[in-house]
Structure 1
Amino acid sequence: MHLEWALSAFARLRLFRPILAGATLRDRALACFGALMGIGLSAVIGGLAATDMNHLVWIVPPMGASAVLLFAVPASPMAQPWPAIGGNVISAAIGVAIGHLMPLTALSAGLAVACAIGAMSLLRCLHPPGGAAALVGLFIGGSSSLLFPFVPVGLNAVVLVASAWLYHRMSGHSYPHVAPSPQPARASDRPWTVSKADIAATLKEAGESFDIGADDLESLVRHMERRAIARSYRELTCADLMVTGVIGVKDDASPEQARGLLVKRDIRRLAVVDGAGLLVGAVGLRELLRPARHVGEVMTPAATATPATPAIDLLERYAQGRVHSVFVVDGNRRPVGVVTEADWLHVLTRSLA
């Protein structure tokens, strides 16, 4: 009990909250297990390749940092296979080259990391552990270090990436990460829609680099737009959507009168009211095909809602109840408006096109 209380208290502190968007305790636990598997396998294979342990290390420290990226944030652009392999190998090669050209000093250390960053940026394989790989390559020195970028660095990186690929396939994550294709949006129909050009311009104005791909960012924006639209639908009421001035007919009117009104106004249903103006039913051309002396004999129950009814609640009635018109009534059951399928389709077409 005391341990659970302590963990709960720590969880409330901002210091211990996840800093990555979307991070969960389950994902972090799985990342730990994945790193255990990936680093362990890399070390075993590296050890088998190291014929002389005095001259060839079997796993290099930058692989620990690479494992954090590959298993904890596999969607990061810097955690993809080419950055993980190319970034480590190229940076280690730069470190080795500078180690052969210059003595080991503070200047050569800084130059190795700077050149590694430049090379990784130009070759589109920026990978933070590459900076450490450059320093390790610089420190190795000696003629035997010429193979260092390939064995063990390249070998470690390939095994680690292969382990990440296998592990994420088993755990359900996509790796290499491919951003889901965002649904296209037509800005002409929705002027407030965020376009890909808007995202690029905003990133340029921000002047900062973020650890997320542009395609992933666009996909997230599209998901947020759809959620915002769904939320706005839940907040939309029948009073917001209804058409006032309900066209109705009295229950004692003749079928010919009702039929003529339907055709003249080009509508599918008429509200049927009694002498006091209260809604008692609805009628359409289908009901008027039956012989009757007045409308009240052939009318059917009317689908009703109140002005405060969420408009989204009507969708199920349209789909499953074969309802075409819902009449909005006040507290006394007087019709104050109507919401038809066409009204809803008009809203959906404008918002989701």
Structure 2
Amino acid sequence: MFKGYIRWFKHVFALNNCNGQRLSAIPLTQRFKAVTAAFVALWLVAQISEFSLRGSEHALLLASMGASAVLLFGLPGSPLAKPAVFFWGHLLAAAIGLMVSHLVNHFALMAALTISLVILMMYLFEVMHPPAGVTALIPVIATTTGPALGFDFLLYPVGLNLIVMLTVSLFLQRYLLRINKITPDPGTLGTRDLPPLAKSQLQKQDIRAAMQECSPGLDISESDLVRLFSLAQQKAMNRQIRTLHCSDIMAKDLVTVEPETSLQQAWNLLRKHKINMLPVVDANYRLVGVISVSDFLNDLAIAEHTGISQHLHSLRLHLRLKWLGSAHFAHHKVADKMSTRLIVATPNDAISTLVPLLANNGLHQVPIVTENFELCGVVTQSDLMTAMTHSK
């Protein structure tokens, strides 16, 4: 019976909302970090304001700083919690509230006009920050107990509170909360075309069009939605082919080279085994780089030719490459040309995680490494296509 009352209570007060976002998805450690960050930020703002404004008639701390702390540290990924939005939203709201308090004498009209103008200007300047509405009402409410506040209100306490809170929040978000910024996926090859995998996924224009048809106040950015949907697709793909991992399909008998291997030897291995990439490993078989055919061809200037000219140029290119192999490569090591920008996976990764790595980066194979970066296999595009075909 007791559990029944609890379920009824949650239902009545909408605490059992299965269709909404659950804050319980936030890891416990992240919650403690947010609590710590809010404590440190508010403590520093109050301490510095008290030290700077001691003996003056200025307020020491804006009540709206508490509401801002909830957004900045409790929901740091929200577009409403961006540091720039926080700073300019409060400053703009304070200026509007101060201006209206000097121009209007009727309290009710003053309050309504202030908030209306604040919302309008926040829309125009893209600085929507709800706690700033409290800042705007401070000079309005002050007129009920005395004369309108002076314009130094924008400096003390508003300016002081904002600068301290902004500085502290930027530091804490970077070094304590470690907020992950949404960045474009790697692999765009310097053209306007999207990476292959992205062409079949949602695009920003799709998200933008959908958002326009939904509630106009969605508290999430387009980039966040695209990233969220991509991750959801990845999870769904993992679930569909969850029985296959990289360790199940990777090649284990590998042809490798070391950084001190000559370029001539590396080139000979590529030609002999008819592969286009060699993993570069150290003495402990840890992956330190890769060298591919394209690394060798970077030294060759390839012009456009057609017909007979194309055949002649191909012959000249072959001879030149052969000459480079004997003359140019002989005095250089793999370490001189290998790429250290490594894109890898682990043996326990689901094979679906290889799809964006191969598709978005123009790769033909992905090295598989252990936690200490020891090379244990390679998965090629052919391996992946075969595995995904058989898994259906």
TM-score normalized by the length of structure 1:
0.59
- Displacement of 1:211: 1.4
How far the C-alpha of 1:21 sits from its partner, in A, is 7.5
Partner of 1:15: 15
- Matched with 1:213 is 221
In 1, Cα distance between the equivalents of 2:44 and 2:174? 17
Matched to 1:140, the amino acid is: A
- Higher RCO (CA 8 Å, separation ≥ 6 residues): 2
- For residue 25 of structure 1, what is the amino acid of its counterpart? L
Name 1:46's counterpart in structure 2. 49
Q: Contact 2:96/2:136 (CA < 8 Å) preserved in 1? A: yes
Query: CA separation in 2, counterparts of 1:85 and 1:312?
Result: 45
**Cα-to-partner distance string for 1:318-338 (whole Å, 9 max, x where unaligned):** x899999xxxxxxxxxxxxxx
- Residue 128 of structure 2, aligned match among 118, 126, 129: 126
Change (3 A) 1:157 1:40: same
C-alpha change, 1:155 and 1:321, in structure 2 (3 Å) is closer
Going from structure 1 to structure 2, the CA distance change for 1:203 and 1:99 (only over 3 Å counts) comes to same
Give the C-alpha shift of residue 74 in structure 1: 1.2
Aligned length: 248
Task: Give 2:233's match in structure 1, choosing from 208, 216, 225.
Answer: 225
- What residue is the counterpart of 2:385 in the other structure? 346
Match of 1:155 in 2: 160
The letter of the residue matching 1:346 is M
Match of 2:85 among 70, 83, 86: 83
Q: Deviations over 1:98-117 (max 9, x none)?
A: 10111142121011011111
Matched-pair contact (CA < 8 Å) for 1:96–1:140: no
The answer to whether the 8 Å contact 1:180/1:216 transfers is no
SS at match of 1:148: helix
1:348 positional shift: 7.8
Does the CA-based 8 Å contact 1:94-1:134 persist in structure 2? yes
**Based on CA coordinates, which of the two structures has the bigger radius of gyration?**
1
Cα separation, 1, equivalents of 2:91 and 2:387:
53
Structure 2 counterpart of 1:211, one-letter code: D
Gaps of 5+ in 2: 245-349, 355-367, 369-374
- Counterpart contact for 1:77–1:213, Cα < 8 Å: yes
Residue type of the partner of 1:115?
Answer: L
- The offset of 1:191, in angstroms, is 7.3
Displacement, 1:227? 2.5
Contact 1:181 1:219 in 2 (8 A): no
Hey, what's the Cα distance between the residues in 2 that align with 1:97 and 1:140?
13
C-alpha spacing 1:91/1:123, structure 2 compared with 1 (3 Å): same
Between stretches 216-225 and 79-88, larger displacement belongs to: 216-225
Deviations 1:198-240 (A, max 9, x none): 111111121332211211211122222223233333368xxxx
Q: 1:106 to 1:231 in 2, by over 3 A?
A: same
For the residues of structure 2 that align with 1:170 and 1:321, how far apart are their CA atoms? Answer: 34
User: 1:189 Cα shift?
Assistant: 6.9
Distance in structure 1 (CA, Å) of the matches to 2:177 and 2:88: 26
Aligned residue identity for 2:47: V
Q: Is the 8 A contact 1:42 1:156 kept in 2?
A: yes
For residues 291-329 of structure 1, the C-alpha deviation after alignment (integer angstroms, 9 at most, x for no partner) is: xxxxxxxxxxxxxxxxxxxx969x9xxx899999xxxxx
Kept after mapping to 1: 8 A contact 2:80/2:86: yes
Counterpart amino acid of residue 62 in structure 1: S
**Unpaired segments of 5 or more residues in structure 1?**
1-5, 237-310, 325-340
Aligned counterpart for 2:40 among listed residues 26, 29, 37: 37
Alignment partner of 1:94 out of 93, 96, 103: 96
Q: 1:225 to 1:80 in 2, by over 3 A?
A: same
Quote the offset at 1:134 in angstroms.
0.7
1:28-66 per-residue CA deviation (whole Å, 9 max, x = no partner) reads 33222221111111111112222544x210111111101
Q: Residues 63 and 348 from structure 1, CA distance in 2 versus in 1: closer, same or farther, beyond 3 angstroms?
A: farther
Q: TM-score, normalised by structure 2?
A: 0.54
The percent identity for this pair of structures is 29
- When residues 90 and 106 of structure 1 are mapped into structure 2, their CA distance, relative to the original with a 3 A threshold, is same
- In the alignment, the residues of structure 2 paired with residue 43 and residue 190 of structure 1 have an alpha-carbon distance, to the nearest angstrom, of 48
Equivalence for 2:112: 110
1:165: which partner in 2?
Answer: 170
Task: Tell me the distance in 2 between the aligned counterparts of 1:321 and 1:120.
Answer: 55
CA offsets per residue over residues 219-272 of structure 1, 9 Å max, x none? 122222223233333368xxxxxxxxxxxxxxxxxxxxxxxxxxxxxxxxxxxx
CA positional deviation for 1:140: 2.9
